[in-house]
Amino acid sequence: MPDAPGPAPRRLVFSDVDETLLSGKSLFDFLDFYFAEVHGAEGTRHAAGTRSRIAALMAGGAPREAGNRAYYEAWRGERLDAVTELGTTWFAGRRGLPGFYVPAVRAALREHRDAGDHVVLVSGSLPAVVDPVAADVGARHVLCTRPEVRDGVLTGAVAGEPCIGEGKRRALRDLSTRYPDVSLSDCYGYGDHVSDLPMLTEVGHPVVVGGSPDLLAQVPGARVLPYGGPV
């Protein structure tokens, strides 16, 4: 998704995607959807095996960055055009489902956008998934993990740094240099997990979605938004 043109923002509003703006884990949902669509039963087994490997990594105490890299390894050999096309198809089929968006966050981002703020989606998920969501909510920028591509084919590696943990902080800081008149102390950040802490501590107005005790302990006084609420 190219950065959208427009007037300078009052503020930047950074939002995590999975389990913050969206109620579920889009990257795993899309993994299952894509490989079943393209490779049938073999693809379904491949997606399930990938999930199991990542779950084992997490159970063993590996950081989310390790799980993110393992996720992208599963895409080795897939064509970028097919992944992008099916990302659009996946989103079209999910968008209208009850509970796809977290209502309180969807509404908050709409209010920010209407007030002249620029919404920025920040995610460890891939562009095929995040770009359609960004277009739907009117986000100006997407900061996400990007798979390495050679000759139109995903290599299984990540291009640059995964947008997870400290990677989110660095991506946020890099984008903010393009807005020298906007102070991060005036900006907002929305996240649900301690891996969002590096992003949330960069802004003056952190918002914890779902009320994670571990995250709230690190950002005392943060506003809390529930997973439920009006659209």
Residues 24-37: pLDDT tens digits? 999 999 999 999 99
Give me the domains of the chain, ranges plus CATH numbers.
12-225 (3.40.50.1000)
Share of the chain above pLDDT 70, in %: 95
Q: Is the pLDDT of residue 2 over 50?
A: no
Q: What is the pLDDT of residue 63?
A: 85
pLDDT digits (tens, 9 = 90+) for 3-27: 555 667 889 999 999 999 999 999 9
Three-state SS for 155?
A: strand
Q: Which ranges in 156-205 belong to alpha helices (H)? A: 166-176, 197-200
pLDDT of res. 104:
96
Tokens coding 75:
């895409």
Rounded to whole angstroms, the Cα distance separating 195 from 5 reads 30
Q: 175 pLDDT band (50/70/90 cuts)?
A: very high
Q: Which spans in the chain are helix H?
A: 26-59, 64-73, 80-94, 103-114, 127-137, 166-176, 197-200, 213-218
Q: What is the spatial distance between Cα 203 and Cα 165, in angstroms, rounded to a whole number?
A: 15
Report the 10 Å Cβ neighbour count for 4: 14
pTM: 0.93
C-alpha span between 162 and 73 (Å, rounded)? 13
